Amino acid sequence: MVSAYYHDDKDTPDNFTEAHNSGEPVSLEALEKIGVLYFNIKTEDELNQVAKERNYKNRDVVNLNLDSFGGDLDAYNAKMQTFYKEHYHEDEEIRYIVEGEGYFDVRNKNDRWIRTKLTPNDLLILPAGIYHRFTLTSELKQVKAVRLFQDEPKWEAINRDLGKNSEARVSYVKAIST
């Protein structure tokens, strides 16, 4: 079951994979208010039902772990550092955790980081336009996740430091400001 809490804001690219738990929990209702949806999915039939209801037609599986980098901890850490940059996408981002664990950080209305720790059977849906980032946990360093897509994946990350506000970003901000 997902755990969600406010991030302690003491991270750096080098320690991004640590828990950074401020001790302030965040409810699923608070996540929903910023458009982030959570499901606990125990079977493939349940996953297929969510996909059908939300019109997700495509999917793939991603495996990310230390072995993906030939056991090279420096290469692994370098990749985790690239995940540090916050960004948004013009499509929803959907992840279903099959094995392992990871953190999704999302910004709330007040631009504060909320960290969600996902473990097996957790499915998280991030709305198009929300600033976020993802990393593996320092303890396990492994995740196998199903990615779901409504169409063919475009997969362009629009980094916050670019200052670009596409229609997806403008629509998202408008949706959570009411």
Give the residue ranges of the annotated binding site for Ni(2+).
87, 89, 93, 132
d(CA 134, CA 8): 16
Q: Enumerate the known binding-site residues for Fe(2+).
A: 87, 89, 93, 132
Helices vs. strands in the chain: H and E counts, helices first: 4, 12
d(CA 170, CA 175): 9
> Taking a C-beta distance cutoff of 8 angstroms, is the pair 139, 93 a contact?
no
> Taking a C-beta distance cutoff of 8 angstroms, is the pair 128, 91 a contact?
yes
157's tokens: 């990350």
Q: Enumerate the known binding-site residues.
A: 87, 89, 93, 132
